[in-house]
A and B are shown apart, each in its own frame.
Chain A
Amino acid sequence: MWSFSHIANEMHEGLSATFNPTMTLIIEMVIAGVAVIGLFAGLGLVLVIMERKVSAWMQIRLGPNRVGPKGMLQSLADTLKLIVKEGLTPNGADKFLFNLAPFIAMIVAMLLMAPIAFARDFQLWDLNIGVLYVSAVSSIMVISILMAGWASNNKYSLMGAMRSGAQIVSYELSAGLSILAIVVLTGSLSLSDIIHSQADGWWIFKGHIPVLIAFVTFIIAVTAETNRAPFDLAEAESELTAGFHTEYSGMKFALFFLAEYVNVFIVCAIGATLFLGGWMPFHIGNWQGFNHVMDYIPSSLWFFGKTFFLIFVIMWFRWTFPRLRIDQLLNLEWKYLLPISMFNLLLVTLMAIMGWHF
């Protein structure tokens, strides 16, 4: 049967037969890196056109419909434009930090790809503290934004970066607490263990209302963490021109742009893994026939389907809600989301101890 894990195993055996173990490892790492970069490029193209079409339809517009069939090649044309544009560095900027910042944003996004399980037994790195790794590495993102804002030598950039700092640092708390709810129920920090614990039903169904609350908190918090509307204070077109990437142009801007979309994909993939069962097909308790039919759908389709559903939800937020003010944003986190998710974590713990979940 053709599956990602099958292809990966074939490749590993083929390489092991010709090279020694060290060489095999190096070649496999290169292949994985190229695959991740390819996935990034693909995701960038797909998500940009998806965002533009979704936004257009939600605002009763048509959206891009000239380049290619139904406008589907629009993002390719945009990429070409960004590649040929000059990457300007302003005179007063801190040149080293200014040029480093977009790469940090990309590297963080790449690091976050490592523990994600894309299909059954197909994972770059199944480390035993996957959830901790994800929440730790994703907070490095703020460094690149602060770096870009500071090095640009521009008031708008600095203001955007500072806002983004306040926002990401505070929303990390409720994102972490809602992730903890699942960790408490599963009893493991490893992402593959969490997926296997959902074989008889996804946590969002098994965990009753507390997990539903945790899921909603998680979605809100990650929307804020990826700096997307209604929490896009770091960019805030109407107030700060473009926020932290005001001074960036050409490919350096494109890297920030790409990093935003890849981050959206990653947080949605984490959300799908924790709450919707990752690549695990939709199973209902003991309905053998039904479960068997669901198993026929490839696991990678399940994973990407769930992830793109969550991406759509986040886009739906973006094109429905107006932007919050900075004080409203921090109020929402510290006065509402954080107390609710703390109380919710208590409930989940009680549920896990008493075994009230299915």
Chain B
Amino acid sequence: MFIIKYIKDVFGAVKSLATGMKRTMYYFTHHKEIITEQYPDNRATLDLPERFKGEVVMPHNENNEHRCTGCQACELACPNGTIKVIFKNELNAEGKKKKAIDKLVYHLELCTMCNLCIIACPSDAIKMAQTFEHSVFDRSQLTKILNNPGSKIMDGVE
């Protein structure tokens, strides 16, 4: 019946509005929920969410070894040509020539932090770091080489 629906509408509206007001009142009275970071002041204790992405880095172990095989999957996955893989030939233990990366060039100024390269990488060689203070005085300093000088591929990574 019309009048019953009308009254139900009114009570339903009041109930849903009250639910919203309860939530905002909870936030109003619970100041520990505040998520604002007062950034330059709390630089030492900055609390970034886990999903925050700042730049692409390549982790190295203590022997200066990385996991990158030079498969170029990241280069292909990148939508705007941020990553460029440069190769060199290396001799392995049996004296055979083997392809390895010379430089993995990363253009931070082009990167949109879309995370597609990290998803594409089959050997988990690169990851997203949470550093974000990237401002420099010259654009050329934004072109980074991700592998350390003299680094090698880790044993057992194909």
Contact = CB atoms under 8 A, between A and B. Distances in A.
A320 B17 CA distance: 8
Interface in B1-25: 9-10, 17, 20-21, 23-25
Contacts of A319: 24
A184 interface: no
A319 B25 CA distance: 10
A60 interface: yes
A62 B36 contact: yes
A61 B28 CA distance: 10
B140 interface: no
Interface string B23-37: 111011001011110
B32 to A, nearest CB: 10
A321 interface: yes
Contacts of B21: 316-317, 320
Interface in A288-345: 316-317, 319-321, 336, 340
Interface in A46-89: 54, 57-62
A60 B33 contact: yes
B38 interface: yes
A318 B151 CA distance: 59
B10 A60 contact: no
B28 A336 contact: no
B27 A59 contact: yes
Given A62-B38, A336-B10, A340-B10, A320 B20 contact: yes
Contacts of A316: 21, 24-25, 28
Contact of A62 (B23, B27, B34): B34
A321 B35 CA distance: 21
Contacts, number: 36
A25 B25 CA distance: 48
Q: Interface on chain B toward A: helix, strand, loop, or mixed SS?
A: helix
Contacts of B35: 60-61
Interface string B119-156: 00000000000000000000000000000000000000
Contact of B24 (A58, A62, A336): A58
Contacts of B17: 320-321
A324 to B, nearest CB: 12
A33 to B, nearest CB: 37
Given A61-B34, A62-B34, A62-B38, A54 B28 contact: yes
A316 B22 CA distance: 10
Nearest to A53: B28
A317 B25 CA distance: 11
Nearest to B20: A320
Nearest to B19: A320
A128 to B, nearest CB: 36
Contacts of B10: 336, 340
A174 to B, nearest CB: 14
A92 to B, nearest CB: 42
A58 B25 CA distance: 7
Contacts of A62: 34, 36, 38
Contacts of B28: 54, 57-58, 316
A61 B33 CA distance: 9
Interface in B22-75: 23-25, 27-28, 31, 33-36, 38
Contact of B34 (A60, A317, A320, A336): A60
A127 B42 CA distance: 58
A60 B25 contact: no
A321 B17 CA distance: 8
A320 B38 contact: no
A58 B33 CA distance: 10
Nearest to B23: A320
A57 B27 contact: yes
A5 B98 CA distance: 98
B27 A58 contact: yes
Contacts of A320: 17, 20-21, 23-24
Contacts of B20: 320-321
A62 B32 CA distance: 11
Interface of B: 9-10, 17, 20-21, 23-25, 27-28, 31, 33-36, 38
Interface of A: 54, 57-62, 316-317, 319-321, 336, 340
Q: Shortest 10 CB-CB distances between A and B: which pairs?
A: A58-B24, A62-B36, A320-B24, A57-B28, A320-B20, A58-B28, A320-B21, A61-B36, A60-B34, A60-B35
8 contacts: A54-B28, A61-B34, A61-B36, A316-B24, A316-B25, A321-B17, A321-B20, A336-B10
